[in-house]
Structure 1
Amino acid sequence: MTAPLPAPLAPGHALVTGGAGFIGSHLVDGLLADGWQVTVIDNFDPYYPEAVKRRHIAAQLDHPRYRLVEVDIRDGAKLNALLTGDYSVIVHLAAKAGVRNSLTDPLGYQMTNVIGTQNLLSFAQARGIKPFVFGSSSSVYGNCPRLPWSESDLGLTPINPYASTKLANEQMGYVYAETFGLRFVGLRFFTVFGERQRPDLAIHKFARLMLAGKSIPVYGDGSSERDFTYWGDIVAGVRAAMAFASDPSKAKYAVFNLGNNRTVGLLEMIRQMEQVLNVKAQIDWQPWQPGEMRRTWADIHAAQIQLGYQPATDFETGLRRFADWLAVQP
């Protein structure tokens, strides 16, 4: 028998970390439109230009139910001092992002992603905020040979520092659910793309290079594949997870894959980008990079059954929406 879906979640007060970023800013747009009060935490990390994030939130700043708190999640004392609201749910999306940079700064990733998450979990415990939704990553699977990847896969072995921090955060979430009574939902995002995508990610980076007539770096032999997932589907999954974490009839700890349940090869991605952008790609072949996964593919059965998650945007449609957005960007 299929379990009932989480009870509908009435608007409350959401605390969203990383709320000026790609996924976070889209989530906040939807929450505000649906009557939520939203407090956003972001430290505008210089991983990519601050102006990009500022544009994401420009329309939100004057909203009467929106508050921006500029603070680093590594600073637990400041978090406690500045966050004085009565929050009904925490959505924790803030993190040092990017696989390759984590290879050269593993300590920095450990401090932000692990210590920062520890601070947020401790904050939730101290304030009695039980629903806690965490943005994890498909990278926790490493090069797991069983495809598609399922949440039931055990003995995961991440192959880069970024992934190891995400898996550590999931395990901390279990501790706080089991021992301290939080209701923790971890969401393993699979290669999110679309409007506002980070400029360092492949689709955005390749598109700008192609439109400028420059070559694009392709690592390995072009055989890598990704489970590309449109941001709108991811945000719908986050909203469903918020309801799940707020429903006392549901498990107090759960992890779900949020993907598109199909893969797109790297060369196929480039071919479709050529069609959408109406420009020919010049490929600069590079050796395989350490810490990079060759293939990602999500088994989304659990999210479909327990969250009602159903990706609705195919890769080509999402790519065209991204191209339309990019055409009006600085």
Structure 2
Amino acid sequence: MQKILVTGAAGFIGYHLSSWLCKNGHQVMGIDSLNNYYDVNLKLDRINQLRRESHFSFRPVNICDKPELDALFAAQKFDVVINLAAQAGVRNSIEKPYAYIDSNLIGFINILEACRHNPVKHLIFASSSSIYGNSDRIPFSEDHITDAPVSLYAATKKANELMAHSYAHLYGIPTTGLRFFTVYGPWGRPDMAYFSFTKNIIEGTPINVYNHGNQMRDFTYVDDIVEAMGALVSKAPEHNIPFRVCNIGNHQPVRLMDFINTLENIIGKEAKKIMLPRQSGDVDATYADVTKLTHLVGFQPKTDIEEGLSQFVNWYKKYYQ
């Protein structure tokens, strides 16, 4: 049993990962700011689900609150820290940039400083496929140049990788950054397209289809993600500079219009579509090369889009009655 801190535990991936870690024998403390970026009740319901796990505890802590975070680290002596707390959303970062500076930069340096002064065996943090920008080299590989982000959100995630590398170099903190590719599934985020598509199709409300549905996304089911993350916990990098980044995606991109058609078939209802041009900050395609993660932990995503969306729609109908 390892003592693991999961920041952003009330979030979508944080909830699923915390549950997986508890079920696999770890002691998990979850923290979250419980902000109102989307429905706080959904976040609270996730935490209430996690409270059923005997090895889970929760505290409402914001990673931007350095004194409280430092006190928590000093008292708890975590073995592993998994930082999933961040302000998410590419489009929202254009409208509310300072929220991203606070959470994704100031909050992250607080995490790094806490790990520096309270050494941990492994720090794992969320990066994003968005850092690849509009690269025309696909699939995206970790050795590709990532210095042309097309949104502030992507820029903060690139900054996280650089900050973490410097702390691994200076203080020997074993660190893994994970570049997530469009994660979906039950208990998902309402601001994600698949969530709003499902809601609108069921209610008969039109959906906005940007770039006329031609963009490609490497949709990755959440259960595949958390299994790989759980396996990584005990596999900290051991290089001279103990730092690495890994893609974590499905390696099978799907055209958005095909994704919508699959969702329509599962719900049994055709969507009313408003076809629109590409939005600022969006990229044309995401496509993960996951060779590195496969070598590390045997990562093999196994949930196809039909099965994954069926699981989500079933949860959605049950949760929202």
TM-score by length of 1: 0.93
What is the distance in 1 between the residues matched to 2:278 and 2:119? 46
Deviation at 1:61, TM superposition (A): 2.1
Quickly say closer, same or farther: Cα 1:64–1:321, change in 2 above 3 A: closer
1:207 aligns with 2:198: yes
Q: Deviations over 1:245-280 (max 9, x none)?
A: 2x6479711100001111110110111001000011
Deviation at 1:92, TM superposition (A): 0.4
Q: Secondary structure at the match of 1:149?
A: coil
1:43 aligns with 2:33: yes
Quickly say closer, same or farther: Cα 1:13–1:244, change in 2 above 3 A: same
1:257 aligns with 2:247: yes
Q: 1:242 aligns with which of 227, 233, 244?
A: 233
Task: Give the structure 2 partner of residue 114 of structure 1.
Answer: 105
Quickly say closer, same or farther: Cα 1:250–1:321, change in 2 above 3 A: farther
RMSD: 1.4
Q: Secondary structure at the match of 1:20?
A: coil
1:133 aligns with 2:124: yes
1:105 aligns with 2:96: yes
Task: Give the structure 1 partner of residue 114 of structure 2.
Answer: 123
What is the distance in 2 between the residues matched to 1:110 and 1:244? 30
| Map 1:1-330 → 2, pairs under 5 A | 11-83=1-73, 84-245=75-236, 248=238, 252-330=242-320
The one-letter code matched in structure 2 to 1:53 is K
Q: Secondary structure at the match of 1:67?
A: strand
What is the distance in 2 between the residues matched to 1:193 and 1:136? 16
Q: Deviations over 1:211-248 (max 9, x none)?
A: 00110011122211100000011101211221222x64
Deviation at 1:156, TM superposition (A): 2.9
Deviation at 1:51, TM superposition (A): 0.4
Deviation at 1:106, TM superposition (A): 1.4
Confirm or deny: 8 A CA contact 1:142 1:158 kept in the other structure.
yes
Deviation at 1:64, TM superposition (A): 4.0
Confirm or deny: 8 A CA contact 2:93 2:151 kept in the other structure.
yes
What is the distance in 2 between the residues matched to 1:242 and 1:65? 17
Deviation at 1:323, TM superposition (A): 1.0
What is the distance in 2 between the residues matched to 1:253 and 1:240? 17
Deviation at 1:327, TM superposition (A): 1.2
Deviation at 1:286, TM superposition (A): 2.2
Q: Secondary structure at the match of 1:198?
A: coil
Deviating more after overlay: 135-144 vs 77-86: 77-86
The one-letter code matched in structure 2 to 1:140 is I
What is the distance in 2 between the residues matched to 1:240 and 1:34? 10
What is the distance in 2 between the residues matched to 1:154 and 1:294? 17
Task: Give the structure 2 partner of residue 4 of structure 1.
Answer: none
The one-letter code matched in structure 1 to 2:120 is I
Deviating more after overlay: 305-314 vs 145-154: 305-314
TM-score by length of 2: 0.96
What is the distance in 2 between the residues matched to 1:69 and 1:324? 30
The one-letter code matched in structure 1 to 2:99 is G
Deviation at 1:62, TM superposition (A): 4.9
Q: Percent identity?
A: 38
The gaps in structure 2 that reach 5 residues or longer are none
Confirm or deny: 8 A CA contact 2:131 2:149 kept in the other structure.
yes
Confirm or deny: 8 A CA contact 1:102 1:162 kept in the other structure.
yes
The one-letter code matched in structure 1 to 2:267 is L
Q: Deviations over 1:287-317 (max 9, x none)?
A: 3210111110001111111232111111111
Aligned residues: 319
Deviation at 1:57, TM superposition (A): 1.8
Q: Secondary structure at the match of 1:94?
A: coil
The one-letter code matched in structure 1 to 2:269 is V
Deviation at 1:63, TM superposition (A): 4.0
Confirm or deny: 8 A CA contact 1:69 1:82 kept in the other structure.
no
What is the distance in 1 between the residues matched to 2:219 and 2:16? 17
Q: Secondary structure at the match of 2:50?
A: coil
Q: Secondary structure at the match of 2:154?
A: helix
